[in-house]
Every structure is written in structure tokens, then in C-alpha cells.
């Protein structure tokens, strides 16, 4: 039982010289010891004389590094105070542990007090945390949280091949931990210095004309049980807007006479309002959806009392792409694609038709393009509404021709040699 004036440096490097474990007793706070197991696990303990039976007893105060040297000393001093007052500190600490905050409790507090009131992505964050974090480490006390527990959460997501989701889960939980440190629920950030898992390279999937035609005509059969998803997929391809924005479309956002869809900033990714001109093909689909939704629903694509969630659309698309011996490319009959690939396809095809990048930026509501630099962000106040309408109409005509099998190849024009 070596005795030493424990320091942070010593505690961090301490190893057990014995086959089993070694207790390093602190000379600064009497009774405090760092127990180092052969495998490297480090536990803080406090030895005292119990008021129950007058025998020597040991109380576990926590593990290192979740509980720092300073924190362990503070707990040991508190425990000694209870022992000298005639109370067994094990009883006091057990009562405190019963009410100690767990990871699940912290997540619930974070969502209620921070995410839901201030973050538009709160629903997605909640879904990822309860799906990936809570089942694995939800019951863990905050004082015991270690960086290896973060790896326990992220590694299974990576193993499923969901690299983007793994990166987002890491970011979500890091935000929770930082919030807890700022509030004082945690003394130290166990995720400090950890690197976010690398996500996959940006997708570059653009559907070919044949794939778009196959997808469009195959939707009634491939998604026979979900007319709503069929319409959302078509509108994503026609309008080049995000699946979450399309699925959440509200009746009061539409001007059916003017043929426009006004997205409020609360529903866009960048937080800025966005006006989308609607071509005749889009208007036809929207009117059919409104008729099926009924006048009582404020949503174009209702699902009970709420709009159909974008992850539900993604899940429906994913299930339809499950392969088998009789369906090597799933029910759609084309290579794997996502809803966001439809947006990329529409914008790419518009670029092929000669639509200017600044107009494409306005169609996509990409402020990195439309407000880049001082000239565009401060002085150019033009909204490009006419150009957006022309671009989307041009794309709608091209898409209709593709669907009907009448589209000619688009050939880039080159300058004539002089």
C-alpha cells in the first residue's frame, strides 16, 4: 500500500506493479486512494471506520479520468465529514447515486431546454440520439462517462456502413456534452480531443434520362401502397427542392393562382425564405394531393395531424430498393438512388440546358452562390424570380420529353473556329 502525494501527472501515468491491483494512498487527503487494476482501470476509493460496526470499510468514489484528482479529493473530504459526524458515508453516497443524472436524463434535459426551443433540426437530433446513444449508454451515470463509451456508440453505426449518420451522431452527442459542461452538469468534457468520424465523400449520383423515365413510369407499381411518396418523389425531381421541404408543404404556403410556393425561413435549411415557381406539371400533382388531403388539413401531404416526415419517405425509398434474386436492382429497376439525388439531377440537367449558375443558386436557395461576395450580398437586391420560373419551366419541358421518350440528346455548343 504505497503512500504518495498524488498529482495529476502521476495519476495519469500510474500502473499497477502487482499481478492483481495496487492502491496508491494519498498523503494529502487521508483515506483517499487510487486503485489501479492490472488492466489499467483506475478507481478512486475512500477508506474509513464505519459507524455501523466499528470496522474498516471502503467506499468507491468514481473512476479516473471521469472523476479528476481534485474531484476525488473533494468527495473524500465530504465522505470524511459524514464519517466523523457518525454517519456512514456509504448510505449518503448511495442516496445521492440513486438520483444522479444519467446519459438518458441529460439527453432529455438537452432536448427539452435547448434543442426543441431553438434548433430546427431538433426532431432529427432526438431521433438519432434515442436510436444510437440511449440503447447503449443511456443508463450510465454522467460521472462515469468516458471517451471509450463514445466509441461504443459510433462504431456500430460505422459498421452498418452509415458513415454520414455516424458523423452526425458524434456531432449531436458532442453538442449535448458541451452543453452539460457549460451548465455544470459535467466538470470535464470526455469528448475533448476526439475527432469526428469521417463521412463518405459527397454523393455525385445523377440519374440518366433512361433512369428517370424508368423511375417515373414504375412508381405506381414500385410504391403502389404510397401515392403520397410517389407525388413527393415527382415534386423533388420537378422542383429541385429538398425532400423535407416538399414533404412538409403547407396549404398556406401555396398561391395556386400565381403558381408559386413560398417557403418560410423556418422551413429551409439556411433559415432564409424561398419562393419556388411552380410549373404546370407540379401544379397538377399538388392539386391532386390537395384534393386527397381534404380542406381540413393544413398540409398537402398529411400523416395524421402532422405532415409526412422526410425520414419516412427515405425509409420507403430504401425498402423499395432492397434487392433479391428476382429483383437485382430492387423494385425501381435502376441503380441505388436517394431523394437528394433527385435534387442534384434536376439542377445538373438545368445546367446542361444552359441555365446560369447564379440562377441555379436561386432555384436551390444556395446563398453561398446567390450572396457570395460584397456585390451580391450587399448591392445586388434582384431576386431572379423571372429567371427561376424560366429555368424550372425549361426543365419541366425537358423532363416531360424524357418521360415520353421524345427527348433528344443535349449537345454543348462550342465556339466556331475563326
- Binned at pLDDT 50, 70 and 90, residue 234 comes out as very high
Rounded to 5 degrees, φ, ψ at 175 are -65, -40
Q: Are 142 and 102 in contact (CB under 8 A)?
A: yes
DSSP string, 136-175: HHTTSBGGG--HHHHHHHHHHHHHTT-HHHHHHHHHHHHH
Q: Is the pLDDT of residue 335 over 60?
A: yes
* pLDDT of amino acid 367: 73
Tell whether domain 103-183 is in CATH 3.40.1760. Answer: no
pTM value?
Answer: 0.57
- Binned at pLDDT 50, 70 and 90, residue 380 comes out as very low
Closest CA to 402 of 217, 228, 248: 217
Dist. CA 83–CA 79, nearest whole Å: 6
In the chain, which segments carry CATH 3.30.160.390?
A: 3-98
* pLDDT of amino acid 407: 64
DSSP string, 257-304: TTTEEEE-GGGSTTS--EEEE--HHHHHHHHHHHHHH-TT-SBSSEET
Q: What is the mean pLDDT of residues 98-116?
A: 85
Q: Are 337 and 331 in contact (CB under 8 A)?
A: no
Q: Are 65 and 188 in contact (CB under 8 A)?
A: yes
Q: Is the pLDDT of residue 394 over 90?
A: yes
Which strand (E) or helix (H) includes residue 62?
strand 56-64
* pLDDT of amino acid 368: 65
Describe the chain by its helix, strand, coil percentages, rounded to 5. Answer: 50, 10, 35
3-class SS at 55?
coil
- Binned at pLDDT 50, 70 and 90, residue 202 comes out as low
Taking only the tens place, the pLDDT of each residue in 343-378 is 999 999 999 999 999 999 999 998 766 555 444 454
Query: Is the peptide bond between 414 and the residue preceding it cis, with omega within 30 degrees of 0?
Result: no
Pairing of strands 42-49, 56-64: antiparallel
* pLDDT of amino acid 416: 43
DSSP character for 4?
Answer: E
Of the segments 108-112, 215-219, 381-385, which one has the largest average pLDDT value? 215-219
* pLDDT of amino acid 325: 82
DSSP character for 248?
Answer: T
3-class SS at 379?
helix
Please name the fold of domain 3-98. Answer: Double Stranded RNA Binding Domain (3.30.160)
Q: What is the mean pLDDT of residues 320-330?
A: 87
Would you state the cell numbers that stand for residue 210, as one nine-digit string? 433512361
CATH numeric code, 209-404: 1.10.443.10
Q: Are 157 and 166 in contact (CB under 8 A)?
A: yes
Taking only the tens place, the pLDDT of each residue in 399-408 is 999 999 876 6
Taking only the tens place, the pLDDT of each residue in 181-200 is 998 888 889 998 898 887 65
Q: Is the pLDDT of residue 211 over 60?
A: yes
Dist. CA 328–CA 404, nearest whole Å: 26
Q: What is the mean pLDDT of residues 129-152?
A: 89
- Binned at pLDDT 50, 70 and 90, residue 414 comes out as very low
* pLDDT of amino acid 105: 86
Closest CA to 232 of 169, 311, 297: 311
Q: Is the pLDDT of residue 413 over 60?
A: no
How many CB atoms sit inside 10 A of residue 73's CB?
17
Residue in the structure block whose three cell numbers are 470535464 = 188
* pLDDT of amino acid 66: 73
* pLDDT of amino acid 125: 93
Q: What is the mean pLDDT of residues 75-81?
A: 89
Dist. CA 51–CA 404, nearest whole Å: 89
Q: 89: Cβ–Cβ under 8 A, 6 or more apart, which residues?
A: 46, 48, 59, 78, 79, 80, 82, 83
In the chain, which segments carry CATH 1.10.150?
A: 103-183
Rounded to 5 degrees, φ, ψ at 18 are -90, 170
In the chain, which segments carry CATH 1.10.443.10?
A: 209-404
Amino acid at each position: 500500500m504505497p503512500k504518495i502525494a498524488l498529482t495529476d501527472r502521476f495519476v495519469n501515468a500510474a500502473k499497477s506493479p502487482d499481478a492483481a491491483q495496487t492502491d496508491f494512498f494519498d498523503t494529502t487527503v487521508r483515506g483517499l486512494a487510487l486503485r489501479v487494476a492490472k488492466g489499467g482501470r483506475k478507481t478512486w476509493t475512500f477508506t474509513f471506520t464505519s459507524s455501523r460496526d466499528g470496522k474498516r470499510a471502503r467506499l468507491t468514489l468514481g473512476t479516473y479520468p471521469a472523476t479528476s484528482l481534485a474531484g476525488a479529493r473533494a468527495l473524500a473530504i465530504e465522505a470524511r465529514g459524514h464519517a466523523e459526524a457518525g454517519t456512514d458515508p456509504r448510505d449518503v453516497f448511495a442516496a445521492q447515486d440513486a438520483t444522479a443524472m444519467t446519459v438518458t436524463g441529460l439527453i432529455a434535459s438537452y432536448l427539452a431546454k435547448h434543442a426543441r426551443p431553438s434548433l430546427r433540426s431538433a426532431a432529427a437530433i432526438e431521433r438519432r440520439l434515442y436510436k444510437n446513444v440511449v440503447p447503449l449508454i443511456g443508463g450510465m451515470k454522467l460521472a462515469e462517462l468516458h471517451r471509450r463509451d463514445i466509441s461504443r456508440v459510433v462504431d456500430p453505426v460505422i459498421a452498418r456502413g452509415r458513415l454520414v449518420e455516424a458523423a452526425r451522431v458524434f456531432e449531436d452527442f458532442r453538442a449535448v456534452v458541451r452543453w452539460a459542461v457549460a451548465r455544470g452538469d459535467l466538470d470535464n468534457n470526455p469528448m475533448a480531443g476526439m475527432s469526428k468520424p469521417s463521412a463518405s465523400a459527397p454523393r455525385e449520383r445523377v440519374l440518366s434520362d433512361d433512369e428517370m423515365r424508368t423511375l417515373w413510369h414504375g412508381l405506381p407499381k414500385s410504391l403502389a401502397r404510397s401515392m403520397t411518396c410517389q407525388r413527393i418523389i415527382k415534386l423533388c425531381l420537378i422542383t429541385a427542392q429538398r425532400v423535407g421541404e416538399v414533404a412538409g408543404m403547407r396549404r398556406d404556403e401555396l398561391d395556386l393562382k400565381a403558381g408559386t410556393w413560398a417557403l418560410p425561413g423556418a422551413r429551409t435549411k439556411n433559415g432564409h425564405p424561398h419562393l419556388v415557381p411552380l410549373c404546370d406539371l407540379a401544379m397538377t400533382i399538388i392539386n391532386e394531393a390537395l384534393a386527397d388531403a381534404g380542406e381540413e388539413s393544413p398540409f398537402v401531404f398529411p400523416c395524421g395531424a402532422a405532415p409526412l416526415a422526410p425520414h419516412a419517405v427515405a425509409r420507403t425509398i430504401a425498402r423499395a430498393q432492397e434487392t433479391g434474386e428476382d429483383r437485382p436492382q430492387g423494385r425501381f429497376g435502376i441503380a441505388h438512388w436517394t431523394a437528394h439525388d433527385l435534387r442534384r439531377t434536376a439542377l445538373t440537367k438545368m445546367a446542361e440546358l444552359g441555365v446560369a449558375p447564379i440562377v441555379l443558386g436561386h432555384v436551390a436557395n444556395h446563398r453561398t452562390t446567390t450572396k457570395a461576395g460584397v456585390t451580391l450580398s450587399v448591392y445586388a437586391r434582384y431576386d431572379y424570380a423571372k429567371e427561376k420560373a424560366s429555368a424550372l419551366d425549361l426543365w419541366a419541358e425537358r423532363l416531360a420529353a424524357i418521360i415520353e421518350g421524345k427527348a433528344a440528346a443535349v449537345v454543348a455548343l462550342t465556339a466556331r473556329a475563326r
